[in-house]
Amino acid sequence: MFKKRRKVEQSLKATLERFDSLVKELAAIEEGTLRFKSRLLSVSEIAAQYYCEKKVELSHIRGEEETPEMREGKVAHELLLKDAVKAEREEILRRIFSGKPTLVREMPLLGKYNNVIIAGVADALLFYQGSPILLVEHKFTGKPIPFRDHHVQASLYCHLLDLMGWDVSQMKYALVIARPECRNDKKLIDIPRYIVRHLGEDPPRFKLEAGSANIYINNYDSRKTVADLDWALNFWIGKRPAVPTRKSGKCVVCSHNGVCEFSLSKRSIETRLAA
């Protein structure tokens, strides 16, 4: 019992010190060396590069107003936290390292890769026997399947856990896809436990009060994730220009389509007018 308690305290101390040291390092940076003088990168922004990197660039240059979708997304995250137990970080980590199954919502993640500090907040993480085994990420969209940027985002959260010193050898991530009208569904908080009951199989659609959610469970692939991250970082360190999307549908709904020289929706209009 004494050895176990000492191991818990050692793991707890190491994790807290690693996190706090990065926070202090970040606070000491007055001006970042990345594009737009960024001091750190967020997981969501890196994932957005896989949606349209040119949009990411223009959002930094021109700014971007908060959309109704962004506001609704915040409401959804607040709902997911509604029944979560509020606890100090140290208390949560102590429970995790004790080996007890622990579900943590909105867990801040912070890591350093190739001298770049990367931060993110995972929707939900399940820890078992002191290690993370499942990450759950919610997406609200009219499309029933996840896209590349969704996978990149979830995988990067897993990679941050790795950079923070967690054992991710058994890590899986689940993408939960539901329609926008399901954002405020109270049954969303039950999904992580539902997924755990169906690990190792394709879970059936989860019934919500306002519809249903498709669940896609994937193994975390560290090699592929690092390759995705390397590609994204090449833009931020100035090795290459921004790569625009090749899908005109993204351009049609983009707030920058009127000024983007790569806008496929703009080109389509000009082509029709010329004809």
Pairing assessment for the beta strands 172-178 and 102-113 based on DSSP bridges: unpaired
Whether residue 85 has pLDDT greater than 60: no
DSSP, collapsed to helix, strand or coil, labels residue 107 as strand
Average pLDDT over residues 101-119: 94
Q: What is the C-alpha to C-alpha distance for residues 239 and 186, in angstroms, rounded to an integer?
A: 45
| 125, 138 Cβ separation under 8 angstroms | no
Residue 145 is classified by DSSP as S
194-207: pLDDT as tens digits: 998 887 777 889 99
**What angle, rounded to 10 degrees, do the helices at 2-28 and 89-97 form?**
140
Q: Highest mean pLDDT: which of 8-12, 29-33, 216-220?
A: 216-220
Q: Highest mean pLDDT: which of 85-89, 152-156, 182-186?
A: 152-156
- pLDDT, residue 273, reads 38
Domains of the chain: 2-243 (3.90.320), 245-275 (no CATH)
Q: Highest mean pLDDT: which of 9-18, 86-95, 221-230?
A: 221-230
pLDDT band per the 50, 70, 90 thresholds, residue 275: very low
Average pLDDT over residues 38-64: 94
- pLDDT, residue 210, reads 86
Task: Compute the half-sphere exposure of residue 30: CA atoms within 13 Å on the CB side of its CA.
Answer: 0
